[in-house]
Amino acid sequence: MLTEDNLRDVVAEMLQRAETTLPADVVSALREGMKRERNPIPKLQFDLMLENLELAKKFGAPICQDTGTFTFFVQLGRKLRINFDLEAATSEAVSSATQRVPLRANVVDPLTRKPIKSNTGRGQPTTHIELVEGKKFQIDLLVRGAGAENCGKLFMLRPVEGMMAIERTVTSTLTEAWGRPCPPVTVGVGVGGSMETAPLMAKHALLRPLDKPNPDPELARLEHQIERAANRLQIGPMGLGGKTTVLGVHIEKAACHTASLPVAIALQCWPARRAKAKLVGGLLKVVEP
């Protein structure tokens, strides 16, 4: 049975790993990006990114000083019994990791702007719980700094605008953001749903590894089309120009009202930090990175 101590320790470990090590698919994508560039300036940006990753791993130090804010996606089996406050335990893990890793205390009151020492607060960390079959338990963590977070968008399109409008929302968002979200970015797109579920899908889409194709062939086709359009913008690494502006485009869809077409876009900066833990033989273990 999943215990509070197990969960707290694992979440703290997820944070430490996510902040200091990138998943293999992201590192590969950055290396491929570097090979594609001909110009010295974008090549230099990739070179420094990769060198920084080596150092961060070596010293166990956070890759980026903006250690971000955290979104947890929990898959909770309907037959699983949890006899503790899951959200409180996750919060405690964030506070403890803030002291130990350490993390930057980023969390503030939105109005007074006063920082909160525990790096937690109402809605921080954010936890989304999805009920699933059996006794499964999985927790996914998404870490995002403000650079990428601040460039997210929600468009309530008119259905008559069609598929090309979806591509345009991505290219216009990237153009407006330029170098601010630290490209090359991963683009999460939520299509359909509603005003609050489209952004949630966009964020969730960022959890998919870069080398894993979309199981829906039509969405996969649209993803590749938008990725090509995005790279044609030549925004490049750090907005200084180049061939690689996006590492990937991931789309999730949900049914929506016949008169609506919500399209949400969430960007993830080049250090696409994430972690995953699964219940294996009754014990929660970190499986990625």
Partner 1 sequence: MSEREVRKLRAGGIVSITGKIVTARDKAYAQVISGAKLPVKLQGEVIYHCGPLAKRTPEGWHIISAGPTTSARLDRVQAEFVRRTGVRALVGKGGVDEEVAVQLARLGCVYLAFTGGAGVLAAKTIEKIEKVYWEDLGSAEALWVLRVKDFGPLVVAIDTHGGNLYLRRKRRG
Contact set with partner 1 (CB under 8 A): 41, 44-45, 48-49, 51-52, 55-56, 59, 61-67, 102-106, 115, 145-147, 150, 175, 178-182, 232-241, 269-271
Least distance (Å) between residue 230 CB and partner 1: 11
Based on CB atoms, which residue is closest to partner 1, 105 or 220? 105
Least distance (Å) between residue 191 CB and partner 1: 24
Report the DSSP beta bridge partners of residue 155: 263
Based on CB atoms, which residue is closest to partner 1, 105 or 256? 105
Based on CB atoms, which residue is closest to partner 1, 198 or 249? 249
CB contact set of 126 (below 8 Å; sequence gap of 6+)? 69, 70, 71, 72
Least distance (Å) between residue 268 CB and partner 1: 12
Based on CB atoms, which residue is closest to partner 1, 26 or 279? 26
Whether the Cβ atoms of residue 34 and residue 51 lie closer than 8 Å to each other? no
Whether the Cβ atoms of residue 179 and residue 254 lie closer than 8 Å to each other? no
End-to-end Cα distance, the chain: 24
Strand 69-77 and strand 126-132: the pairing is: parallel
CB contact set of 90 (below 8 Å; sequence gap of 6+)? 7, 8, 11, 72, 125, 127
Based on CB atoms, which residue is closest to partner 1, 86 or 272? 272
Based on CB atoms, which residue is closest to partner 1, 26 or 76? 26
Least distance (Å) between residue 114 CB and partner 1: 9
Tell me the C-alpha distance between 240 and 127, whole Å.
Answer: 35
Least distance (Å) between residue 67 CB and partner 1: 7
| Angle, CA of 170, 176 and 178, to the nearest 5° | 95
Least distance (Å) between residue 64 CB and partner 1: 4
**Alpha-helical segments (H) within the chain:** 4-20, 24-36, 40-59, 86-100, 146-149, 162-177, 197-205, 217-232
Least distance (Å) between residue 38 CB and partner 1: 15
From residue 39, how far is each of 48, 143, 232, 254 by CA, in Å?
15, 31, 15, 41
Based on CB atoms, which residue is closest to partner 1, 137 or 270? 270
